[in-house]
Each structure stands twice: as C-alpha cells, then as structure tokens.
Amino acid sequence: MIDILEDEHRLIKLVLESLITFADSVGEGDSGARAHLGEYTVFFRNFADKYHHGKEEEMLFHEMQRYGFSKEQGPLAVMFIEHDEGRRLVSALADIAQRNAPWSSDEIGEVKSAATALFSLLGSHIYKEDNILYPMALQTLPAGELERLSEDCDIFAERWSGIGYSEMTAMAGRLIEKYPPDPAKTSRIQSCTGCAAHG
C-alpha cells in the first residue's frame, strides 16, 4: 500500500508544481483561464483529497490508530490537520474559479497566494509522510496488516475506476503539459516550514 501512496504523491507534486506555473501565467483582464483553475481544484478535491487522503484516513491512519497512534496528538494528528488546511485552500481557489468576469489584479494576487500556500503545505506534508510517517507505519504494522491494506487499496481503486480515476489522471496530464513545472519558480518557494526534518 505504501508504494501506491508514494506513487500518488509523485503525481500530486507534479500538479502542485504545474499550479505554480499556472498562477504565474494569469494576466489582468484574461478571461479564459478560470476553467483551467477549476480543473486544478477538481483534481485536488477528487484525486488528492477524496481518493488519496481518503485511503490514508480510512485505511492507513485508521489502522495506525489501532496500533497505538493518537488522532489527537503527534504525527497522525498533524496529518489530519494538514488535510483540512489543504481543503480550505482548495475551496478558496474553487471560489475564484467559479466567477466569470475577466481576472482582476486582486484575484490574481489571491490565486498566487493560495497556490503558493497549497504548494508549500502539501509539499511539506508529502515530505513528512514519505520520510517520517510511512516509515513509522512500516515499522509498526505487522506484515499481514500491510498486505490486507494493499488488498483494501485495490478494492478502493476498483470503486474509483467507475467514477473518475482515469479522468483525474488524464486531466492532471493535460494540466502538466499546458503549464509545465518550472524549477526556477518552485525552488523559490519554501516547501518545508517547520517540519521535523527541516525545521
């Protein structure tokens, strides 16, 4: 299961990097880019949150709680809080995507600010999961439990195959192609604020 979640992280990170390119590309008076912003929010709500965070919260984190990890404090609690914070930032972007007037300079500032915050939050969140939380799960959960979780993951994926998994990955591919990740832009953003590894 952990390798599947890590693979999903790679796609989510690419779309976050692409979102930064998008936010930088919007100009005052433009009218066509709101639909693309809407597609980013659909991807983050469906693939990153309902699908990926759904598997973490309903399966992996749920199992970790059975093996002594607290949902109220410690690393698991931080992960739940960060999922919620991500939802708030995606809602802010979705709110702007739903309007239909040409972009104002204030809105461009709002999009840049929310996109940068989401990049920073989820970039740091993914780093902590890949390097701290998932290794903890691998150390703590018995091999049999991890195997059962992988089977549950397959069932979860089957449920999703009919309601948008391939549409979400195709949409991500189109956005990444149209707004390619640019290390010159993303390397300027602090992606790890105060986490245990880089604090």
Binding site for Fe ion (CB under 5 A): 56, 129
Contact in structure between 134 and 6 (CB atoms under 8 Å): yes
Asked whether the beta carbons of 56 and 5 are under 8 A apart, the reply is yes
Shortest reach from residue 44's CB to Fe ion, in Å: 12
Nearer to Fe ion, 17 or 56 (CB): 56
Q: Closer CB to Fe ion, residue 63 or residue 129? A: 129
38 with 98: CB under 8 angstroms? Answer: yes
CB 181 within 8 A of CB 17: yes
Residue pair 61/79 in contact (Cβ under 8 Å)? The answer is: yes
Of 148, 147, 146, 121, nearest to 136 by C-alpha is 146
- Least distance in Å: CB of 25 to Fe ion? 27
φ, ψ at 175 (rounded to 5°) = -65, -40
* Closest separation in Å from C-beta 29 to Fe ion: 37
CB of 163 to Fe ion, least distance (A): 20
Q: Provide the greatest CA pair distance for the chain.
A: 57
Q: How far is the CB of 152 from Fe ion (least distance, A)?
A: 16
Chain centre to alpha carbon of residue 185: 19
Cβ distance to Fe ion smaller for residue 39 or 56: 56
Q: Which CA distances in Å does 124 have to 30, 173, 197? A: 32, 23, 10
For Fe ion, the closer of residues 26 and 64 by Cβ is 64
For Fe ion, give the closer residue by CB, 35 or 157.
157
Please name the residues in contact with 84: beta carbons below 8 A apart, sequence gap of 6 or more.
none
Instruction: Closer to Fe ion by CB, 98 or 169: give it.
Output: 169
Closest approach of Cβ 50 to Fe ion, in Å?
Answer: 13
